[in-house]
Structure 1
Amino acid sequence: MIRIHVTSVPVQNQDNALQFYTEKLGFIKKTDVPVGEYKWLTVVSPTEQNGVELLLEPTAFEPAKQYQKALKEAGIPWTSFMVEDLKKEYNRLTGLGVQFSMEPKEVGPTMIAVLDDTCGNNIQLLEML
């Protein structure tokens, strides 16, 4: 059986990304291993510490930078995170200064919102209704 172990999000600065993803979004640091000038830096959900890890991957590869920029400019989220109560999470995050390009909106059986992760990405938050 195959399962997802690590997925990644490109970031322009790993230290800034770690701060945003932990202090604002609430993830916790799992792995921080120096690899040359960068790090193998992952975060996990505090409720699933042995679950899927999110690699905060540096955008050192030029095609990755261009792809990240194109998605951001088109307003397309890089990835999506599930939340229990989107309106509550939206209020918490806006109170912390997080900027949203889309406020909570019902779309079919879901409610979604899109935030700016300050690291070059749009990130979608999703609640199943």
Structure 2
Amino acid sequence: MKIYITSVFVDDQAKAREFYTTVLGFVVKHDIPMGEDSWLTLTAPDALDGPELLLEPAGHPAVGPFREALVNDGIPFTSFAVENIDAEYERLLALGVVFTQPPTQMGPVTTAVFDDTCGNLIQLSSYGG
């Protein structure tokens, strides 16, 4: 068994696509229109056949209260791995990304948390800093 697709709920797929591709650097794998929304998945540019991130429309009534509770408590919805968290933090800051937690060492892992502009907090993680 392996991870195939994981989702992140987004308020606006077009805005999320722009942020996740232009700012974060993911690439579109699938963009299949399905009514008002799309089956919109992304992958890492160096792992085109790797796990996909589905930018899932946040229209279900349970999503709003769930995400609001996570954000209010400072809990990231998901986590992305980076090789050099300090460099990625500086790169994203320069692009205007708002961080709620700067790089912070937590045992063997360093994490940082940012607002994805689409209703979520996202964690960056790096082993060894």
* TM-score, normalization by structure 2: 0.97
Question: Match of 1:57?
Answer: 56
- Mapped pair 1:74 → 2:76: no
Question: Match of 1:30?
Answer: 29
Question: Match of 2:93?
Answer: 94
Question: Match of 1:124?
Answer: 123
Distance 2:36 2:64 in 1: 17
CA drift at 1:70 = 1.1
Distance 1:92 1:34 in 2: 32
CA drift at 1:14 = 0.3
Question: Match of 1:3?
Answer: 2
Distance 1:21 1:64 in 2: 20
CA drift at 1:122 = 0.3
CA drift at 1:36 = 1.4
Q: CA offsets per residue over residues 92-114 of structure 1, 9 Å max, x none?
A: 00000000000001110011000
Segments of 5+ residues of structure 2 without an aligned counterpart are none
Question: Match of 1:115?
Answer: 114
Question: Match of 1:16?
Answer: 15
Q: Residue 33 of structure 1 aligns to a residue in which SS?
A: strand
Letter aligned with residue 85 of structure 2: L
Q: CA offsets per residue over residues 2-38 of structure 1, 9 Å max, x none?
A: 1111000000000000000001100001100011111
Letter aligned with residue 35 of structure 1: M
Aligned-pair Cα RMSD in Å: 0.6
CA drift at 1:90 = 0.4
Segments of 5+ residues of structure 1 without an aligned counterpart are none
Letter aligned with residue 82 of structure 2: V
Distance 1:33 1:64 in 2: 22
